[in-house]
Amino acid sequence: MHFGCTLIDVAEIRAQIPVCQRVTYLNTGWSGPSPRPVLDVMEGQLELESAEGPASPRALEVSHEIDAEARSEVAALLGASVGEIALLQNTTEGISVILNALHWEPGDEAITFGLEHPAVLMSTRSLERKGVTVKVLELGPSEAAESILAGLRSALGPRTRLICLSHVQYASGLRMPLADICHLVHPVGVAVLADGAQAAGQMPLDLPALGVDFYSMPGQKWLLGPDGVGALYVRGDRLRTLEPRNPYLTLRRGTDPSVDFSETSRRFELSTSSMALRAGFTEAIRFIQAAGLDQIQTGNRNLATRLKHELDSLPGVTVASPMDPAASTGLVTVRLPGVAAPDAVRTLWARERIAARSIDELDAIRFSCHFFNTEEEIDHVVTALQTILRKVR
Ligand SMILES: Cc1ncc(COP(=O)(O)O)c(C=O)c1O
């Protein structure tokens, strides 16, 4: 077997991910398959709650440990401090929390991009109800960083308050120049809210170095955690500039009267959550960290590059994702001549047990290459697409 990343023991990783035994799984950008240790800790937690009682002194003690470990693993993953992390349900929730906690005046402006995932685009557009002007900038699936920055520069105005964008574009895997964007807009008092759905678990992250103000991320995609748990980073100096719409934890001091949540990002959390999910989330981050994010980043790009080059050489096939490695990730999006993308996705699954998805805006198929995938799987996709294309000619 040939692997995308030679520094990771991919065979060992694959042995722990049940789907790898059955399916060519290339849909991690939608939801990643959890490895066995993640499944085991979640099952163990549910068993403990069932055997000891979910709010027994023993289970509560364990809950506090799980909670603290989840916060510290997320903080380490993002290069943040524990007080800057809120544990939420998913990326979209974190975006919504920030958009609603900022103070908006009618006539204020927010900027986003036309290619964005609805979690970003529709959420930002919802500010229009508050009288905010939302500028939606055009963005090509492989747009160059200089062009993105130039577009932003000319869109900034005296009333611009926020840029809301994905760190990595879901439609094509384009890596946005996030640090440069922060550098451009911060001096004119504009904040940056980034969606890390397609970035967390694919690349090393150092949010203070990126300079981003707010960052929302899920557990269920490249981190290989369960659905229903994610995290929001609010930069420490930004905490006081926000007013959470939910007053519950802001007012509550918890069981320890010395803890005042109003000084931490926990003030954006709503209420009770599943400890099994949080434990699974923590275990997933540990699994990813053990493999190494530098190695994952390189391995994913290698696999993606192989797939892009192979597909680019097929007659009529267009690669929508960037070819420049610096702007690339493990996401590969391609258009096939004469075949509707949803039909191709269905055929890949029905005939070959290849899991991918279509991106309807681009009428394209998206493949997600993660560190558990192999070069043989990439070649499997290429052969399967060649067969589909032969049939339409
Ligand atoms: C860029 C981006 N943002 C947000 C989401 C939605 O994520 P969640 O379900 O964690 O809210 C997705 C899911 O595909 C995504 O790709």
For a substitution probing ligand 1, which of 31, 116, 170, 227 has the most ligand atoms within 8 Å of its CB?
170
pLDDT > 90? residue 248? no
Which residue, judged by its Cα, is nearest atom 9 of ligand 1?
90
- Ligand 1: distance of its center to the CA of 96 in Å? 12
- Residue 203 contacts residue 179 (beta carbons within 8 Å): no
Query: CA separation (Å) from 382 to 308, 332, 337, 376?
Result: 10, 12, 15, 10
Check for a shared fold between 10-30+292-392 and 43-288.
no
Which residue, judged by its Cα, is nearest atom 7 of ligand 1?
91
SS3 of residue 23 by DSSP: coil
Q: How far apart are CA 304 and CA 63, in angstroms?
A: 40
Which residue, judged by its Cα, is nearest atom 16 of ligand 1?
170
pLDDT, tens digit, for every residue of 204-214?
999 999 999 99
Ligand 1 atom nearest 89 alpha carbon: 10
Confidence of residue 145 (pLDDT cuts 50, 70, 90): very high
CATH of domain 10-30+292-392: 3.90.1150.10
What is the β-pairing status of strands 109-113 and 133-137?
parallel
pLDDT, tens digit, for every residue of 327-368?
999 999 999 999 999 999 999 999 999 999 999 999 999 999
pLDDT > 60? residue 94? yes
Q: How far apart are CA 149 and CA 366, in angstroms?
A: 26
For the chain, give every domain's residue range.
Answer: 10-30+292-392, 43-288
Q: How far apart are CA 390 and CA 56, in angstroms?
A: 63
- Ligand 1: distance of its center to the CA of 205 in Å? 18
Sign of CA dihedral 15, 18, 23, 27: negative
Report the top-level CATH class of 43-288.
alpha beta
Confidence of residue 267 (pLDDT cuts 50, 70, 90): confident
- What's this model's pTM, rounded to 2 decimal places? 0.95
